[in-house]
Every structure is written in structure tokens, then in C-alpha cells.
Structure 1
Amino acid sequence: MNNFRKYWQSFKEYLQIEKNASPYTVKYYLNDLEGFFSFLNAEGIANLYEVDGRIVRVFLNALYDQQLSRRSVSRKISTLRTFYKYLEREDVVTTNPFSAIRLPKTESTIPGFLYTKELEKLFEVNDLTHPLGQRDQALLELLYATGMRVSECQQLVLENIDFFIGTVFVMGKGRKERYIPYGKFAEIALETYIQDGRKTLLAKSNQPTDVLFLNNRGFPLTERGIRDVLNRMVKKAALTVHVHPHKLRHTFATHLLNEGADLRSVQELLGHENLSTTQIYTHVTKDHLRRVYMKSHPRAND
């Protein structure tokens, strides 16, 4: 394993500095590399340039023996393809043994989303006379109004919110910047929280910070904290569905498309690099599809 450590470190720096990869992406890439290096050591392979098509097939068989999902296997292959492409650039190897490997087809899943009535229950559970209730309402309104990722929400600072034009500045994956508009409900919730509840929470810590969302001790709310807030709201609303921050992102996209927003606009709002990523949200409810048909087809009605 020590023979490979320097390449592990240099690849990590490449992901962080040149690719601007998110901490989660770096973590998964490096974990996949650790597993691959362990496999090479077990096979008695001391150099990365020794890996050829035969070794790759043995490695793939080892992955399938672990009964990993197709998605996990696909990710590991993609990681190693990127790793060897980097090694080619650095003249460590002359060929990429993973370049000809076809990724296994992954199961196509439709993102879950909340219906309007389920959302209404969530919006009604918070005590808006209490600082934490004001914070939770602002958090919920903002996540649904913008469709931002939980990591993007957790990083927000006060100056990211522009009340004059009603937009929030977001730093997305790969440090890509975008501005997302928000509506009246989010505006009211944010103003109430910032002018009232946030000041009360901040006084508890006695440590100034411009981070937007604070915990009950006045310190910045973590991503785990945001998920816990949502879980508590779900319990209060007595919802039987599982709600996580990403489900609000799914709901944001689905509701926009169901109401006639074009795919390119939704792509830009979500911060997707490829349109194909956004197309997963083009599913619609049967009721909506029927309404569109009955309204639009010339011979749907008398």
C-alpha cells in the first residue's frame, strides 16, 4: 500500500485544486482508491502500470462477489478510469486499463417528491413566535423556494440574501456560482427570522458570525442539523413519508415542470451541468398528465 500512497495524495490534490471537486466527491474517490490498492496488494501487484485487462476483470469479479449494487460498481469503475486518466497525464502509465470497460447499466429510479397537501402540513407545524420556529420556517421555505442542495444551504451567509431583488447567491458544486430567485413566502420567513429569531440565537453564543442558519446554541447549523430539523417537522406534521432535504429539491423541480417551466430554466436553477441530469424530473403525476391531455387534445372533450 505504501508504494501507492504518493499517487493517492497527488490524485487528492488534483481533485481538490484542479477539478474543484466537492468534499463528498473527494471522499468517495479516495475510498474507492483505497479498496483498489488493497486488491492490488492482495494480488501481489506492486506497480500501477502492471494493471492490464486481465487484472481489471479479476477486480470486477471481486466487486461482484461482494454483491455490490450496479450503481456502486459503476462508480468505482468511473473513479478508477478518472484515476488512470490522471496517471496517463502524469506519465506514470502509458495506457488506461479501465478506458474500454463499459459501465454496468444502473437501475433507473424516479425521484420522490411531496404533494401540495403534504407540503402544507409541513408549513403549518412551526411556532413562529419562537426563535427556533422562525428559523425552521425560514429553512423550509428557502429549501422549497430555491431547490438548493443542503450543502449549499448550510454555507449561506447573510450577504448571500438580496432582499431588494429577491435572490439568493449560491456556491454550488465545483465552486460554480448561481443566483436563484425566491418568492414572497420565503421572503417573509427570512425577514422574520433574521430580524428576530436569529438575533436571539446569536446572543447565546456571544460569538459573531454571518452564517445564516444557527443552531439552538447560536453556532452555525450543520448539514446534519438541517436534516434533524426536517425530521422533527415531519414528526410534528404526522407525515408518513420520509422527508430529507434532497426530497425538497426533487419537489421544487417537479412542481416547476408540472406547472409549465421549461427544462433549461429548471436546469439552471438546480445548477446541473448537464441537461440529462435534469431530465429525470420530467416525470409527472397521472392526474397532471390527464389534465394536460384533457385541456390540450382536440378530441379529448365534446
Structure 2
Amino acid sequence: MFVRKRTSKKAKKGYTWTVYIDYEDSYGVKQRYTKGGFQEKSEALNHGIEKQQELKQGIEIKLKDKTFSEVYLEYMDVEGKFKYTHNTMITYDSIYVNHIKDGIGNAKMRNLSYKALQEYFNGICDEGMGTTTGIKRIFCVTFKYALRVGYINSNPMLMVTVRGKVNKRKQDDIITFEQLEEMVKILCTVDEKKRNYVPFTHYSFCIFLYLSYFLGTRKAETLAITKQDVDFENNTISINKQLVYHGFKKEEYYCTDKMKTKSSRAILPMCDKLKEILQKWYKKNPYDLLCCDEYGDYIVPTDCCRLCKESAKKIGIDFHPHSLRHTYISNLVLSGVDVKTVSELARHSNTSTTLDIYAQTTFEKKQEAINCTFNAYLDTKSNKKVTNLKDERLN
């Protein structure tokens, strides 16, 4: 706040005083309040102090009345829709509607202290860890936004920890290549009794399985791969787009180059087996899209996943498309590939994601590590002792 003397012919003294107050409104936009015509400087100062307090209280009251839902929806409109892919937006919206909107979403931001938030997450610990982590992610981005625009002075989510039921990974979650081949065999078996059975489309589902298994790509990325992305000469496949399909009819599917993260875009090495499979597929598939129906259009992801699950069930395993990504990364880890390389091949934003989620080894692998480390070491020590005893006897 500051005041200035302004010349005025109408004033008795030939001048008046004007007060200026610079401030930011509730949306973080810089504003200026001015009022003039004061005969004395003290009058201008007193008015300025009162107005300054009034503006501050008005902004604080407006901010404190905002609910979490209001701030979250504002964040998604201002930043989220430009930052996230359509598929991610759908996921966030589903979590928000099912777990936040009709409950804690109605709470005032001013009431969401660390204690209140921690008690909330403690109360939903019976949910799966994936669910609670997804809810926390929404809270984190919303509070960071609120902090950036000045709605809050500190971020209590930095101290909040989440708990949830951890679903123990079944052995079936790691798909062996032999199991994959069995699934392919079932998908390709001609069965006239099946409704809408089209051999070309069903084998296209098999290509989806092979690509996911050998590249570790996400479902939307796999369904967007075209022949232009495949380089047989250099044995690489470029991952540069993904299919947008949530909430759309098949005719409205489209590909976008907006990826999940910056690391998602990459050129991946292609193994010899995948190269062989694709070269055979090229002779049957005249279209540019690798996973397509008999007309060259995008396949329906739900149909593909449903039939893959049915084929997996027939050989006694549980299947989810993301299991193939887990399998890809687990195979790399179990083969002894270093974490940095695994992270780059998995196209994670950082290595901590790889370590936290995927760096799991079987008991046999752990036993092998112990044997190689200690048994070999002790055997070497024993051999040295035997050698030394022989040397002493010879002497």
C-alpha cells in the first residue's frame, strides 16, 4: 500500500491524497485498488489500512469456502485436461466419482488438515492398495494445484501415508511363453459355434498378445502400433502413440501422440521371435494397423481382453492385459538385467517405479543368489584349506 499527492484545482489546498493497494485476488490474478479525494494524508492511510484488511478477509473467506471437489474440478479444467491423456482423465474421473465425490469431496479445504486426511486414508485401508494409491494421487495433484494458486499455505498431503490390502501376486500373473502359445492356439481354433467368430480378427488378438509379451507395452500403446513403426532392418519398434477408446463408440476411436509420460515415447529393440511372428503376419494382414479387424479398423479392446481371458481360463490361469507388462519386466529382472536398463525398456519415468512395483524375484532366484554368493565362497575357502594341508604334508 502507498499514497500519493495528486494536484486538484477543486481542493482547498490545491491537492488531494490517493491511496493505492496492490493485491492478488482469489484466482491469483494481480489487481490494484485505488481511491482518491482525501484532504489529509492521514485520512488516506487510515482508509488504506481498513481496505487492505477488508480485501484480505474477503479473499480468505472466499478461499476457505471452497470444497475439495471444487478445487479438484478446477484443477482438471485449468491444468489436467492439457496434462493428461483422455484415458488417464477417464481413470481419474472414475476414482473421483466412486470414492471422493459424495464423501470427502464435500469437505472444505480449510478443514482438510494432516490429521483429517490421515484419518480418512486410515478409514479406507480395507480397499486394495491400488485403489488407495489412486485416491492419494488425486489428492496430491489437487493440493499441489491449490498451493500454486494460493488457496492454501502448506501441503498436508506431503506427510500422509496410505495403506491398503496388498494382493499377493499369484504365480499365474507371470505368463510363461508356453502358456502364451496355448492361449494363441485356443484363440486360433476355428469354432463355427462361436458368435461372430472371424479368424483374421482372432489372430489379430494373438498379435496383441505377442506384442505385449515381447515389448511390455500398455494396452492402448499396443493397439496403436502400425507397420510404419516397425523397422525390420534395425530390429526396432517405435512406440509413439496410443489408442483413445474410453467412452467412445468404435467408429469414434482415434490415436493420439499424447503419451502417458515423456518416457513412454521410445524406440524398443525387437527380438528375433517377434520379428519372425510379424513377418508371417504381414503376409496375412494387408493393412497398416498391426492389431485390426478384417476391415483394417481398430479392434474393440473389451472384446480382445474378454476372449484372451477366456482362453487363459481354459488353461487354468488368471489373465489381465497388464499381466504381460508385468511379465516383460519380471523376465528382464530375473535374467539379471540391471535396474537402469529395465527402467528404460519399461519406459518408466524413474527407476524408483521399477524398484517399487516390479523388482520382485522368485524364491528359487533368491536361493540361487545365496548359493552363488556363500556356498561358492565357502567351497573356495575349503579348497584352499585342503591345498594348504597337502602342502604341509609334502614339506
d(CA) in 2 for partners of 1:218, 1:96? 50
Partner of 1:140: 209
Which one has a larger percent strand, Structure 1 or Structure 2?
2
| Structure 2, unpaired ranges of 5+ | 1-64, 191-198, 241-258, 384-395
d(CA) in 1 for partners of 2:268, 2:143? 37
d(CA) in 1 for partners of 2:266, 2:135? 30
Give the CA deviation at 1:268: 0.8
Partner of 1:281: 358
Q: Does the 8 A contact of 2:124 with 2:164 survive in 1?
A: no
Structure 1's 300 and 214: CA in aligned 2 closer, same or farther, altered over 3 A? farther
Q: Does the 8 A contact of 2:67 with 2:105 survive in 1?
A: no
Q: Does the 8 A contact of 1:131 with 1:193 survive in 2?
A: no
Q: Does the 8 A contact of 2:128 with 2:166 survive in 1?
A: no
SS state at 1:92 partner: coil
Q: Does the 8 A contact of 1:135 with 1:213 survive in 2?
A: yes
Aligned length: 283
Partner of 1:72: 131
d(CA) in 1 for partners of 2:333, 2:72? 42
Partner of 1:189: 277
What are the within-5 Å matches in structure 2 for residues 215-234 of structure 1?
A: 215-216=293-294, 218-234=296-312
* Alignment partner of 1:88 out of 106, 129, 147: 147
- TM-score scaled by structure 1? 0.75
d(CA) in 1 for partners of 2:189, 2:109? 59
Partner of 2:81: 16
d(CA) in 1 for partners of 2:114, 2:333? 45
Aligned CA-pair RMSD: 3.7
d(CA) in 2 for partners of 1:234, 1:36? 35
| Structure 1, unpaired ranges of 5+ | 203-209
SS state at 1:169 partner: strand
Q: Does the 8 A contact of 1:168 with 1:179 survive in 2?
A: yes
SS state at 2:281 partner: helix
Give the CA deviation at 1:2: 10
d(CA) in 1 for partners of 2:337, 2:260? 23
d(CA) in 1 for partners of 2:144, 2:71? 13
SS state at 2:90 partner: helix
CA radius of gyration, larger in: 2
Partner of 2:290: 212
User: After superposition, what is the alpha-carbon deviation per residue over 1:233-267, rounded to whole angstroms, capped at 9, x for unaligned?
Assistant: 435xx410112222222222222222232222111
Give the CA deviation at 1:138: 2.6
Q: Does the 8 A contact of 1:293 with 1:300 survive in 2?
A: no
- Aligned residue identity for 2:144: K
Structure 1's 128 and 194: CA in aligned 2 closer, same or farther, altered over 3 A? farther
Identity %: 17
Partner of 2:9: none
User: After superposition, what is the alpha-carbon deviation per residue over 1:29-81, rounded to whole angstroms, capped at 9, x for unaligned?
Assistant: 34454554533686xx5x534544565466457646xx534553343233213
